[in-house]
Amino acid sequence: MKPTIALVGRPNVGKSTLFNRLTKTRDALVADQPGLTRDRHYGHGRVGEKPYFVVDTGGFEPVVDEGIMFEMARQTLQAVDEADAIVFIVDGRVGITPQDKIIAQRLRQNDRPVWVAVNKVEGMQRAVVTADFYELGLGDPVAISASHGEGVRDLINEILDGFEVPVDEPEADHPKFAVVGRPNVGKSTLVNAVLGEERVIAFDQPGTTRDSVYIDFERNGSPYTIIDTAGVRKRGKVTEMIEKFSVIKTMQAIEDANVAVLVLDAMQEVSDQDARVASFVMETGRALVVAVNKWEAANAEQRDRIKREIDRKLSFLDFAKFHYISALGGQGVGELFKSIDQAYTAAMIKIPTPKLTNALQLMIERQQPPLAGKVRPKMRYAHQGGSNPPVVIVHGNALDHVPDSYWRYLERSFMKVFKLQGTPLRVQFKRSA
Ligand code: GDP
Ligand code: GDP
């Protein structure tokens, strides 16, 4: 599993600057989708072989105890509790402030490893600027400059040293789907509905509260793995405990699945949190099926509303199938499985080079890439560069000049030609040698 690094610190010390630096490489690979909520607080990165998640906690207001600031503080504390490592950023030009001391005190109560990063110290003497910060009682401070990139790589390497490189697991040969969504939408009810009638082969107890439960089962003789982010702990329990939403758990489950099942509540509005989970799915490129749950209980007005909101707020999920289900009564669960199978098959497809190249030629015949000044981008052939999501690598010349709209046209057309339902597809350009 990828380790998660949480960035904490008072406002203005350089958290978002560091966050951007730590996630930049990855961002470039994900083409911006129209309507995609870019969440600048959660991201992926990699140094060398080692991948990681980063969470920018966005601030630290340890004193407030109600209202929206309280909610922010609660989320920060949750991220701190769930992270594998914490980078506590302080400002080397300002020195220790009272707020730094309060944060340090909170971090010392936690058993997570903490690195104190003394930021903004480009051009300064490391030993001198860090000396002050031993007083925080959190070990040896490290000097960095987030905006100049100094010391950042060393810091991350040191943090990741304690974690094993996640071995690239062999691709699962069967659908492995994560049931995700915000609290109370009906995730555990859906998991129970699915498992109620199936043969459960094995399941692991979660190691920690932020771990999901993995359950292997068979349906109609075929193997599946369900990644249950709500946790089987709820099974059979009468108590209605509303779970805390864990961003880290959700991100890891999506990453580890080959299909995500996003559960929405038909009786509620599509919230920012729903859109954020949907955006994670887009960024990882996982296949997706959407289950709009509690359909039997929604009245006509609510049904209209959620459909309108899906069109407006989740338009970037247009590649996915939507199902209107009732997990409680088990209605629609069978159909949901058909889409899970279909999305899995589409995500794992292997298309031979001649077929891709033929399809590409037809697309170009139907619509040429536009001239960029005097040059016209020339596309010669295409081959597949990966699965889950399928990546099509197009070779040619002057491909830097292909506009985004044409890029989308190619992506859409490949999806249509190869009848890929339920997975995004990405086109990448490569200059011919
Ligand atoms: P946040 O509020 O903690 O997220 O802080 P920001 O990342 O927004 O940075 C606050 C200010 O500090 C901005 O003006 C940044 O340009 C500046 N800053 C961030 N990192 C550095 C650095 O390494 N050196 C210098 N000189 N300024 C920095
Ligand atoms: P989770 O937090 O996402 O795991 O949600 P739960 O599975 O615990 O469900 C939250 C609440 O919604 C519970 O009271 C469920 O009984 C209820 N619920 C779940 N599915 C349905 C459904 O299909 N219809 C209705 N009316 N209620 C449902």
pTM of full prediction above 0.95: no
Rounded to whole angstroms, what are the CA distances from 174 to 177, 226, 251, 348? 10, 11, 21, 10
Of 333, 355, 352, 341, residue with least CA distance to 422? 341
Closest ligand to the CA of 330:
2
Paired strand residues for 299: none
- 157: annotated binding-site residue? no
Q: Which helix (H) or strand (E) holds 347?
A: helix 333-347
Q: Give yes or no for residue 145 CB within 6 A of ligand 1.
A: yes
Q: Tens of pLDDT along 251-286? A: 889 999 999 999 999 999 999 889 989 988 988 899
Q: Give yes or no for residue 183 CB within 6 A of ligand 2.
A: yes
Confidence of residue 236 (pLDDT cuts 50, 70, 90): very low
Q: How far apart are CA 134 and CA 402, in angstroms?
A: 53
Is 324 buried (19+), middle (13-18) or exposed (0-12) by CB count in 10 A? buried
Q: In ligand 1, which atom is closest to the CA atom of 145?
A: 23
Q: Which of 179, 180, 182, 184 to mutate for ligand 2's pocket (most ligand atoms within 8 Å of CB)?
A: 184
Closest ligand to the CA of 296:
2
Phi, psi torsion values for 259, nearest 5 degrees:
-135, 135
Q: How far apart are CA 15 and CA 58, in angstroms?
A: 7
What's the half-sphere exposure (Cβ side, CA atoms, 13 Å) at 257?
A: 38
Provide the ipTM: 0.82
Q: Give yes or no for residue 328 CB within 6 A of ligand 2.
A: yes
Q: Tens of pLDDT along 50-100? A: 889 898 886 655 555 555 455 556 667 777 888 899 999 999 999 999 989
Q: How far apart are CA 262 and CA 281, in angstroms?
A: 9
Closest ligand to the CA of 229:
2
- With vertex at residue 86, the alpha carbon angle to CA 81 and CA 92, rounded to the nearest 5 degrees, is 140
Q: Which of 179, 189, 264 to mutate for ligand 2's pocket (most ligand atoms within 8 Å of CB)?
A: 189
CA 311 to chain CA centroid, Å, is 21
